[in-house]
Amino acid sequence: TMPSIFSYQSAEVDWCEGNFERSTVIAEYYNTVNGTTLFSFLLLTPLNFLVLEGAALLTQVSFAFLAGVFSMYFHMTLSYVGQLLDELSILWTLAVAYSFWYPRVYFPRCIKSRKHFFWLSGVTTVISTLMSFIKPAFNAYALNCIAFHLLYLTWRELKKCNDKRVHRMAAVMVVWWVLAISSWISDRWLCGLWQAINFPYFHSFWHVLIAMSLLYCCPLVIYFDVNYEMPSFKPKLGYWPSDSWPVVVPYIALEEPHKQC
């Protein structure tokens, strides 16, 4: 008989970490615990998004919050439903981010307004959601491929920008992303090796590293968005609590330029 879609270990994907080794309730202990890095990330993102409209902030944080919850649920149960909720919450979080902050200059020629782009993003996301049920094991690979488009957009924007702080922040973001995707691929493709040396925890590293990459990605998105949507302000990158600290939170400050008489 077919297992229940809510049953433990009914998912198509099982990560390298051993199941139920440290808890009788949590299937992948470290993957679940490190999923809380998404919550830590959520506490920091509003520092950047507060410069934008409230609806965008509330919607984005709400979807990101669900992504964190569903990631923990999936790794705790390894259920089929948990897998789909985890992957689809990420898909919809990305869709919301694209809808609100994708630069107008890159809109397809047939799109004349942000409202039309909302509809395009919505229809594309609904179709992608339906297709994700066909072979859920491929979903994670497809979602990771979206990062290449984001890196391409970042490269396009950096070509127009002369601020060395922006280029440095983009470089740090890419370094964290490379470390994250390397950990993800290692966990999927070299699992036998890591289990042989009793260190099958690279997917849990992925959670931490991708959160760090996003921590630098968000200020960049805001920086470019302000340049396009709020031309009367000059965005400036900063670090809290101080540039000199070894561990910092990047953020965007808005400076209103002096008007010429």
- Binding-site residues for Zn(2+), in ranges, read 75, 203, 207
> Which residue carries 């202990």 as its tokens?
29
Burial class (CB in 10 A: 0-12, 13-18, 19+), 232: exposed
* Residue length of the chain: 261
Q: Say how far apart CA 67 and CA 84 lie, in whole Å.
A: 11
Contact 48, 240 (CB under 8 A): no
Instruction: For 158, list phi and psi in degrees, rounded to 5.
Output: -65, -30
Q: Say how far apart CA 172 and CA 217 lie, in whole Å.
A: 9
Largest Cα–Cα separation, the chain: 79
Quick one: three-class SS letters along 168-185? HHHHHHHHHHHHHHHHHH
Which residues make up each annotated binding site?
Answer: 14-15, 17, 19, 28, 75, 203, 207
Which residues make up each annotated binding site for Ca(2+)?
Answer: 14-15, 17, 19, 28
What is the enclosing helix (H) or strand (E) of 194? Answer: helix 191-196
The structure tokens listed for 118 are 């909302």
Taking each helix axis from N to C terminus, what angle separates 54-77 and 80-101, rounded to the nearest 10 degrees?
160
